[in-house]
Amino acid sequence: MTDLRKHQEQFERMKRWYKRIKEIDEGRSHDLSFINLPPGYFYDEVYAFFINCYHLKDWILHDDTVKQEDKGKVEDFMKKDGSMSLCRDICIGIKHFKQGSVPWSGRAPKFRGRKFSLSLKGGPEPIIGVKFSIETKKGTIDAFELASECVQKWEEFIKDNIK
């Protein structure tokens, strides 16, 4: 067992998923077994990040080590911050296959594209990168950039609000 508070465990888990999608975005080494990966393989890791990122909210709300007044700030933070409301809408869309309720962001985000890169330099194994695009009503955004913003926003929120 760790000495972390419950929400901190989820925060660290979210950061581990972030590290994985950063490697996908920047490119990581693959042996030839990547040829046999299922089509959704890289999506799975990106989806897992957004699900874990959004559900940090629930971990804070259910953490008995967090003061009630601090818990009260979480929902407001998620609704008012553009990155976090997009994260929520992405998570709900992934989890339920479609947006069942009114999106908090008002932008109806959907994963729409991915661009692969391949480099044979630097070693015996190829370096494969994947950049994911999220289409919204206000234009297309880069999934990794959104993920980076979400991690930064959570770090700031926790530092400033969870005592």
3 state SS of 130: strand
Q: State whether residue 67 is helix, strand or coil.
A: coil
SS3 content of the chain, % helix, strand, coil (to 5): 55, 15, 30
The residue ranges of every structural domain in the chain are: 6-161
Q: Residue 27: CB partners within 8 Å, gap ≥ 6?
A: 117, 119, 127, 128, 129
pTM to 2 decimal places: 0.86
Tell me the CB-side half-sphere exposure of residue 58, using CA atoms within 13 A. Answer: 8
How is residue 98 written in tokens?
């479609």
pLDDT in tens, the chain (163 residues): 456 678 999 999 999 999 999 999 998 887 656 566 666 778 889 999 999 999 999 999 999 999 999 999 999 999 899 999 999 989 988 765 555 565 555 567 888 888 888 888 767 788 888 999 999 888 999 999 999 999 999 999 999 999 7
How, if at all, do strands 28-29 and 127-136 pair? antiparallel
As beta bridge partners, residue 135 has 110, 140
Residue 27, helix vs strand vs coil: coil
Alpha carbon distance 162, 30 (integer Å):
40
